[in-house]
Amino acid sequence: MLAADRDRLTIATFASGGRALLPPALSRFVADHPGVELTILEREPEDSLPLVREGRADLALAYHFDGPPPARPGDRSGLDWAPLISDPLRVVLPHANPHARRRSIHLAELAGERWVLGCMKTLDLLRHYADLAGFELRISCGATDYLFAQSLVGAGVGIALIPSIALTQADDLVAIPLEPPSPCRFIGIATSRRRRGPAQPYLDALRCLLMSATT
């Protein structure tokens, strides 16, 4: 074990990633390095990535939707990006919905449904795929929490598009894959390219644990 009487790591993470992906890695990290003081910040990527870039966080568990990652080799972001997992979005329906027994479904078949947003960032994403499918969205609620959104689906308010790692185990709900073209969330680890210091071995250890926990 490394000597770490005063060593600290600050980790920024979005909520569903922190709930689903961090605990297994952190459990092993704490067991291996009990002297390291951990600070966990709940932040969305638009806030967590600047924290890493500015040196106020050592690591960010972050995501992006369709398109390029937030950092690429040779760009000027000052960040390194290590992809962890692809997190496909699923359509969440109440059991009473006529489509609930489907193994997969095309978004165009849901044109008549009302939608509950579990994150306002998914609005533009869902609108883009709805445009591709040829219909206009009807929104019942713009929530900021995937668990809340799924409870509204269970109450019959509408249906929702939820990332796989944010799905709840609810007897009154089903989660169905979308047929292509379908949206996906890509989760990864952001660290600073420039920052090196006494905590670097611990940062490397935590990054390895996160990557091994998702493979």
For 188-200, the pLDDT digits (tens) are: 999 998 766 788 9
Does position 2 have pLDDT exceeding 70, yes or no? no
The pTM score is 0.91
Q: What is the pLDDT of residue 77?
A: 78
Cα separation of 159 and 91, whole Å? Answer: 7
Q: What is the pLDDT of residue 68?
A: 86
Does position 59 have pLDDT exceeding 50, yes or no? yes
Q: What is the pLDDT of residue 180?
A: 94
Q: Which of 163, 157, 197, 142 is nearest to 63 (CA)?
A: 163
